[in-house]
């Protein structure tokens, strides 16, 4: 199948991947757009895995202020070099992540940060719900895993669907830029402030 420049451009716009990677993905998937997107995601995940051991000490702290100063977010995103930190793509990623935090109010960057006691409490809740609904005990673990996945999508930034494109998660958004830049990129931390919100003591 002939891969047109328009097809490559459309895939690049959708995924943020490089031109040659998009062309390769379309060829590998015989022009099937959905399969090409999946191909690039897998490649991005592979690149992310390879880069994850590299030190990410450069980057940026980005601020996003919303509702005329009533809501503000600070986010730190790290990469390996100052060169990548100064690129428009990296700055856009940091801003998109700050906007995501403002909109969705996650509690953690990733599921690795969830305290063990919180995890155990959630599992107990799901177990009790399954029992109350009369579900067979042999499928409780499967039910709990499914509910935990939904819980991660709510409270963990990297597992959340990207507000600008619900087809991908924030984790995929980061991995796409890792694949494009060839550098390890880490969302280090964030803080969200809302004017007048109750302060928990």
The CATH code of the domain that includes 66 is 3.30.479.20
pLDDT for position 61: 96
pLDDT for position 74: 97
Mean pLDDT of 110-121: 93
Tally of structural domains, the chain: 3
**Token pair 């991947």 in the structure block, residue:** 17
The answer to which of 16-20, 108-112, 117-121 has the lowest mean pLDDT is: 16-20
> How long, in residues, is the chain?
201
> Coil, strand or helix: which one is 64?
strand
Q: Which domain holds residue 99?
A: 58-110+156-194
pLDDT for residue 201 is more than 50: no
pLDDT for residue 45 is more than 70: no
Question: Does pTM surpass 0.85?
Answer: no
Band of pLDDT at residue 39, cut at 50, 70 and 90: confident
CATH assignment of the domain containing 145: 1.10.286
Helices (H), the chain: 5-15, 19-28, 33-51, 82-85, 88-104, 116-132, 140-155, 170-181
Burial of 116 (0-12, 13-18, 19+ CB in 10 A): exposed
Q: Residue 184: phi, psi to the nearest 5?
A: -70, 135
Mean pLDDT, rounded, of the chain: 88
pLDDT for position 62: 96
Would you say residue 201 lies in a domain? Answer: no
Angle at 49 between CA 43 and CA 50, to 5 degrees: 90
Q: 70 CB contacts (<8 Å, ≥6 apart)? A: 194, 195, 196
- Give the other-Cβ count within 10 Å of 193's Cβ: 12
Would you say residue 199 lies in a domain? Answer: no
> Coil, strand or helix: which one is 78?
strand
- Please tell me whether residues 75 and 148 are part of one structural domain: no
């Amino acid at each position: 199948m002939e891969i047109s420049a328009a097809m490559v451009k459309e895939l690049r716009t959708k995924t943020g991947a490089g031109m040659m990677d998009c062309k390769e993905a379309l060829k590998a998937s015989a022009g099937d757009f959905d399969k090409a997107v999946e191909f690039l995601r897998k490649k991005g995940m592979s690149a992310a895995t390879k880069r994850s051991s590299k030190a990410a000490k450069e980057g940026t702290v980005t601020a996003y202020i919303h509702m005329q100063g009533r809501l503000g977010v600070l986010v730190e995103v790290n990469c390996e070099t100052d060169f990548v930190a100064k690129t428009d793509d990296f700055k856009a990623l940091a801003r998109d992540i700050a906007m995501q935090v403002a909109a969705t109010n996650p509690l953690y960057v990733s599921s690795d940060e969830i305290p063990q006691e919180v995890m155990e409490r959630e599992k107990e809740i799901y177990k009790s719900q399954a029992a109350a609904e009369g579900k067979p005990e042999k499928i409780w673990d499967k039910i709990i895993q499914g509910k935990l996945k939904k819980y991660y999508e709510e409270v963990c930034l990297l597992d959340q669907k990207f507000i600008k494109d619900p087809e991908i998660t924030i984790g995929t958004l980061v991995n796409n830029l890792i694949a494009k830049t060839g550098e390890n990129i880490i969302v280090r931390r964030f803080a969200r402030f809302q004017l007048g919100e109750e302060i928990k003591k």
